[in-house]
């Protein structure tokens, strides 16, 4: 079959050009093995708190199985706006400035498609969540990565940001606390970045899905900084802090014209988020705080354990102040991040994600998620230490042979 | 952060954690954890350690009763003299002063139903200051000290996600 007969000819060129997620091949390898302890999971290991699951059941019992307003139920939007005001310091009108989305993933897609024209540039920071650059490309715009590095604790360096801005730059996409590094921004860093956004008249789309999982430092959203409310789309959801990934519930808050533009796309594509999930989200945000904080405390204890063990193995990593990831530097192993992850999996049955899956600058690092039972994490760290010590012994031997 | 409270909170959930494990989780040296635990044991803050074992692990499973007790308060000491006297019986595992229609709530354990009945009849009811008792025999235990006795079936998540 030649190219003109192949079904490939139907695929849009900008989609055909999208790279497959770098994690996909590794995922297949992990799934083919038994007795694996996975530190490769980007979702909480906790079940959704029972009171939230019970609210879901009640919604079903009452027959809440219909469509809702395209924006989402008013009760949830009011609850979200109160929560965002109290927790993150930005106030929005639930009637016009809040849209309930199918997770932050949909919110991000809507925001990008609503504002981007072909040729526009979007600055984002790497290493980052795998979907950012593809999402920008799918919106027919150009993704422009700015590298963050271990020396800056993976925070966005304002000078590097400034250097990446061109006259085509329209959007700055932020994700702090960050997946995969666990990095957060200090008050001062948020202020500096917000000043640059104002100076260059950028729209900021901020994915703050891990906001509650900030262990030290303030959780004020950048949307609450001077001059930012008018130029920020705040994306947040319940997947991570409330362990509700499968509910697919997120929310976008921003100036009414932008929310209205996003709503147009949402109403013609997704229509609305699941009502059952919206009911559960109301329960989570109104009454789920105690259980959310209990989960957060457990993440904190796991983080302490993982950071101490990795540094003891010689894989230096900062003590991240957010999310549930650590991003150790494994370059001393002499292996690429993909090779390191493959051998660790095959030899010790521990899954971590190669850093290169989160951007080229993630080479030399791996992502370890501590969203796993602490007993499993302890075993995984012991296995990883054995692996590290074998590599240390092997490296000089190999070096002497080649010399 | 109150390190002593954090250590005690972890021990309440799992008393078999080593000082090294606790230290790693709280980012505190293991020696400091050991010292704090030793102090808490010495000052009586830690009253003891026990394993939470399913009743079904034993050939003779025993009988448990929750017993409500109405108390005639004493001029000196209120409820305390009766509560202390009740607490001394080896059959009684828990004693609480509670609000509501009665005053003390006890958990009593015996080998047989008759053991518990005899305890109530001959020891508890005859105690000076005890006005009235009402016994509820336990039929089945579902949750104890924060642990479910029967876990839900495990739902396996994806092993690698972005």
Q: Can you spell out the DSSP letters for B52-74?
A: ---GGGSSS--EEEEEEEEE--B
Contacts A43 to B, Cβ<8 Å: 157-158, 161
Asked if residue A161 is part of any domain, the answer here is: yes
Per the listing, tokens 């305890």 go with B119
Structurally, chain A folds into a number of domains equal to 2
Count of alpha carbons within 13 angstroms of residue A258, beta-carbon side: 25
User: Are A125 and A83 in the same domain?
Assistant: yes
Hey, is A201 helix, strand or coil? coil
- The mean pLDDT value for A136-146 works out to 97
Residue A161 maps to which CATH number?
Answer: 3.40.640.10
- The mean pLDDT value for B100-111 works out to 97
Asked if residue A206 is part of any domain, the answer here is: yes
User: Are A201 and A281 in the same domain?
Assistant: yes
User: Are A212 and A359 in the same domain?
Assistant: no
Contacts A323 to B, Cβ<8 Å: none
Q: Of A288, A316, A335, which one is at a domain's C-terminal end? A: A288
User: Are A137 and A169 in the same domain?
Assistant: yes
- The mean pLDDT value for B26-37 works out to 98
Instruction: Find the helix packing angle between A374-402 and A289-313, rounded to 10°.
Output: 20
> C-alpha dihedral over A147, A233, A137, A25, to 10 degrees?
70
Asked if residue A353 is part of any domain, the answer here is: yes
User: Distance (Å, rounded) from C-alpha A355 to C-alpha A366?
Assistant: 4
Q: Are A285 and A83 in contact (CB under 8 A)?
A: yes
Is pLDDT above 50 for B82?
yes
Residue to test with chain B: of A299, A300, A301, most B Cβ within 10 A:
A301
Q: Are A88 and A211 in contact (CB under 8 A)?
A: yes
Q: Are A111 and A235 in contact (CB under 8 A)?
A: yes
Q: Of A238, A267, A288, which one is at a domain's C-terminal end? A: A288
User: Distance (Å, rounded) from C-alpha A383 to C-alpha A345?
Assistant: 10
Buried residues in A316-346 as b, exposed as e (16+ CB within 10 A): ebbbbbbbbbbbbbbbebebbbbebbbebbe
Which of A109, A168, A117 is CA-nearest to residue A141? A117
User: Distance (Å, rounded) from C-alpha A144 to C-alpha A170?
Assistant: 11
Mean pLDDT of chain A: 95
User: Are A64 and A200 in the same domain?
Assistant: yes
H-helix segments, A46-166: 50-61, 74-83, 103-115, 132-138, 158-164
Asked if residue A260 is part of any domain, the answer here is: yes
Structure confidence at residue A396 as a pLDDT band (50, 70, 90): low
CA–CA min distance A308, chain B (Å) = 7
User: Are A201 and A222 in the same domain?
Assistant: yes
Q: Does B161 touch chain A (CB under 8 A)?
A: yes
Is pLDDT above 80 for A66?
yes
Which of B88, B72, B75, B70 is CA-nearest to residue B135? B70
Q: Do A36 and B159 touch (CB under 8 A)?
A: yes
Please report the DSSP string for A171-193 in residue order: EEEE-SSPTTT-----HHHHHHH
Which of A323, A290, A217, A283 is CA-nearest to residue A80? A283
Residue A42 maps to which CATH number?
Answer: 3.90.1150.10
Q: Is A91 exposed, middle or buried (0-12, 13-18, 19+ CB in 10 A)?
A: middle
Per the listing, tokens 């950071």 go with A307
The CA–CA distances, whole Å, from A374 to A32, A193, A302, A306, A381 equal: 24, 36, 6, 10, 10
Quote the pLDDT of residue A400: 46
- The mean pLDDT value for B75-82 works out to 89
Q: Is B97 exposed, middle or buried (0-12, 13-18, 19+ CB in 10 A)?
A: middle
For the record, the structure tokens of A348 come out as: 């010790």
Residue B31 CB neighbour total at 10 angstroms: 11
Task: Tell whether ipTM is more than 0.90.
Answer: no
Quote the pLDDT of residue B75: 81
- The answer for B 17-76 residues in CB contact with A (under 8 A) is 21, 24-27
Q: Do A304 and B157 touch (CB under 8 A)?
A: no
User: Distance (Å, rounded) from C-alpha B60 to C-alpha A59?
Assistant: 44
**What would the pLDDT profile of B44-61 be if each residue is shown by its tens digit?**
999 999 999 988 899 988
Is pLDDT above 60 for A303?
yes
User: Distance (Å, rounded) from C-alpha A271 to C-alpha A101?
Assistant: 10
Contacts A301 to B, Cβ<8 Å: 10, 25-26
Looking at per-residue pLDDT, the higher value among B76 and A50 belongs to: A50
Quote the pLDDT of residue A304: 98
- The mean pLDDT value for A126-149 works out to 97
User: Are A284 and A298 in the same domain?
Assistant: no
For the record, the structure tokens of A122 come out as: 């979007």
User: Distance (Å, rounded) from C-alpha A294 to C-alpha A303?
Assistant: 14
Is pLDDT above 80 for A67?
yes
Contacts B26 to A, Cβ<8 Å: 301, 304
* Structural domain that includes position A91: 50-288
Asked if residue A1 is part of any domain, the answer here is: no
Considering only alpha carbons, which residue of chain A is nearest residue B17? Answer: A375
Of B26, B159, B162, the CB nearest to A304: B26
Q: How much of chain A exceeds pLDDT 90, in percent? A: 91
Of B25, B155, B159, the CB nearest to A304: B25
Q: Do A305 and B25 touch (CB under 8 A)?
A: yes
For the record, the structure tokens of A108 come out as: 């991000």
- The mean pLDDT value for A371-389 works out to 97
Contacts B162 to A, Cβ<8 Å: 21, 23, 42, 129-131, 179, 353, 357
Quote the pLDDT of residue A305: 98
For the record, the structure tokens of A371 come out as: 């969203």
User: Distance (Å, rounded) from C-alpha A273 to C-alpha A59?
Assistant: 14
Q: Are A271 and A64 in contact (CB under 8 A)?
A: no
Percentages helix, strand, coil for chain B (3-state, rounded to 5) are: 35, 25, 45
H-helix segments, B27-144: 30-42, 80-87, 113-118
**What would the pLDDT profile of A191-221 be if each residue is shown by its tens digit?**
999 999 999 999 999 999 999 999 998 899 9
Mean pLDDT of chain B: 94
| Residues whose CB falls within 8 Å of the CB of residue A383, separated by 6 or more in sequence, listed in order | A37, A348, A349, A350
User: Are A219 and A359 in the same domain?
Assistant: no
Is pLDDT above 60 for A402?
no
Q: Are A324 and A299 in contact (CB under 8 A)?
A: yes
Quote the pLDDT of residue A403: 41
Contacts B155 to A, Cβ<8 Å: 47
Residue A207 CB neighbour total at 10 angstroms: 29
User: Distance (Å, rounded) from C-alpha A163 to C-alpha A149?
Assistant: 16
User: Are A105 and A252 in the same domain?
Assistant: yes
Is pLDDT above 50 for B133?
yes
Q: Is A128 exposed, middle or buried (0-12, 13-18, 19+ CB in 10 A)?
A: buried
Is pLDDT above 90 for B74?
no
Taking only Cα atoms into account, the Rg of chain B, rounded to an integer number of angstroms, comes to 21
Considering only alpha carbons, which residue of chain A is nearest residue B28? Answer: A304
Asked if residue A336 is part of any domain, the answer here is: yes
Count, residues in chain A: 403
Q: Do A26 and B160 touch (CB under 8 A)?
A: yes
Q: Are A101 and A250 in contact (CB under 8 A)?
A: yes
Residue A28 CB neighbour total at 10 angstroms: 10
Q: pTM, whole model, 2 decimals?
A: 0.92
Q: Do A304 and B24 touch (CB under 8 A)?
A: yes
Contacts B157 to A, Cβ<8 Å: 41, 43, 45
- The answer for B 128-157 residues in CB contact with A (under 8 A) is 155, 157
Contacts A305 to B, Cβ<8 Å: 24-25
If you ran DSSP here, which 8-state letter would residue B150 be given? S
Q: Do A301 and B25 touch (CB under 8 A)?
A: yes
Contacts A309 to B, Cβ<8 Å: 24
Q: Are A326 and A178 in contact (CB under 8 A)?
A: no
Q: Do B25 and A45 touch (CB under 8 A)?
A: no
Is pLDDT above 90 for A27?
no
Which of A104, A59, A83, A80 is CA-nearest to residue A274? A59
Is pLDDT above 50 for A376?
yes
User: Are A69 and A187 in the same domain?
Assistant: yes
User: Are A120 and A211 in the same domain?
Assistant: yes
Asked if residue A2 is part of any domain, the answer here is: no
Q: Are B141 and A11 in contact (CB under 8 A)?
A: no
Q: Of A267, A288, A309, which one is at a domain's C-terminal end? A: A288
User: Are A268 and A315 in the same domain?
Assistant: no
Beta bridge partners of A353: A367
Considering only alpha carbons, which residue of chain B is nearest residue A298? Answer: B25
Asked if residue A307 is part of any domain, the answer here is: yes
For the record, the structure tokens of A330 come out as: 């494994």
């Amino acid at each position: 079959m030649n190219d003109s007969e192949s079904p490939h000819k139907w695929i849009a060129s900008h989609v055909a050009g999208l790279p497959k997620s770098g994690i996909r091949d590794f995922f297949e390898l992990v799934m083919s093995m038994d007795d694996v302890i996975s530190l490769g999971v980007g979702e909480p290991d906790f079940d959704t708190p029972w009171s939230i699951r019970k609210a879901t059941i009640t919604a079903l019992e009452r027959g809440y199985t219909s469509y809702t307003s395209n924006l989402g139920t008013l009760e949830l939007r009011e609850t979200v706006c109160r929560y965002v005001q109290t927790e993150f310091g930005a106030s929005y009108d639930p009637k016009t400035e809040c849209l309930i989305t199918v997770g932050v993933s949909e919110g991000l897609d809507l925001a990008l498609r609503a504002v981007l024209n072909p040729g526009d540039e979007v600055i984002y920071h790497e290493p980052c969540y795998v979907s950012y650059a593809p999402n920008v490309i799918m919106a027919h715009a150009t993704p422009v990565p700015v590298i963050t590095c271990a020396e800056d604790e993976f925070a966005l360096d304002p000078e590097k940001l400034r250097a990446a801005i061109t006259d085509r730059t329209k959007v700055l996409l932020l994700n702090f606390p960050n997946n995969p590094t666990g990095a957060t921004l200090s008050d001062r860093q948020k202020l500096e970045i917000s000043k640059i956004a104002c100076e260059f008249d950028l729209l900021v789309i901020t994915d703050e899905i891990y906001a509650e999982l900030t262990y030290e430092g303030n959780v004020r959203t950048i949307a609450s900084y001077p001059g930012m409310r008018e130029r920020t789309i705040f994306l947040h959801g319940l997947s991570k802090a409330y362990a509700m990934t499968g509910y697919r519930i997120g929310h976008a808050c921003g100036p009414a014209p932008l929310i209205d533009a996003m709503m147009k796309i949402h109403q013609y594509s997704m229509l609305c988020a699941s009502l059952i999930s919206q009911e559960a989200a109301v329960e989570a945000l109104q009454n789920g705080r105690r259980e959310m904080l209990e989960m957060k405390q457990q993440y904190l204890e796991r983080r302490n354990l993982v950071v101490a063990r990795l540094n003891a193995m010689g894989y230096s990593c900062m003590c991240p102040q957010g999310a549930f990831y650590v991003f150790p530097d494994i370059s001393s192993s002499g292996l690429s991040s993909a090779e390191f992850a493959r051998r660790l999996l095959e030899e010790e049955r521990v899954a971590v994600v190669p850093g290169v899956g989160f951007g080229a600058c993630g080479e030399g690092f791996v992502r370890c998620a501590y969203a796993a039972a602490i007993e499993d994490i302890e075993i995984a760290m012991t296995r990883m230490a054995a692996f590290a010590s074998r590599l240390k012994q092997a490296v000089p031997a190999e070096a002497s042979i080649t010399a | 952060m109150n390190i002593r409270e954090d250590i005690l909170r972890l021990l309440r959930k799992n008393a078999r954690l080593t000082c090294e494990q606790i230290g790693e989780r709280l980012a505190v040296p293991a020696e400091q954890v050991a010292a704090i635990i030793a102090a808490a044991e010495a000052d009586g803050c830690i009253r003891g350690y026990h394993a939470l074992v399913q009743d079904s692990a034993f050939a003779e499973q025993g009988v448990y009763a929750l017993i409500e007790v109405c108390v005639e308060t004493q001029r000196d000491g209120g409820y305390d003299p009766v509560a202390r006297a009740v607490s001394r019986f080896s059959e009684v595992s828990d004693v609480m002063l509670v609000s509501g229609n009665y005053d003390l709530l006890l958990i009593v354990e015996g080998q047989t139903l008759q053991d518990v009945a005899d305890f109530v009849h001959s020891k508890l009811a005859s105690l000076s200051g005890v006005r009235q008792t009402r016994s509820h025999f336990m039929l089945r235990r579902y949750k104890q000290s924060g642990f479910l006795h029967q876990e839900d079936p495990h739902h396996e998540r994806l092993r690698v996600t972005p």
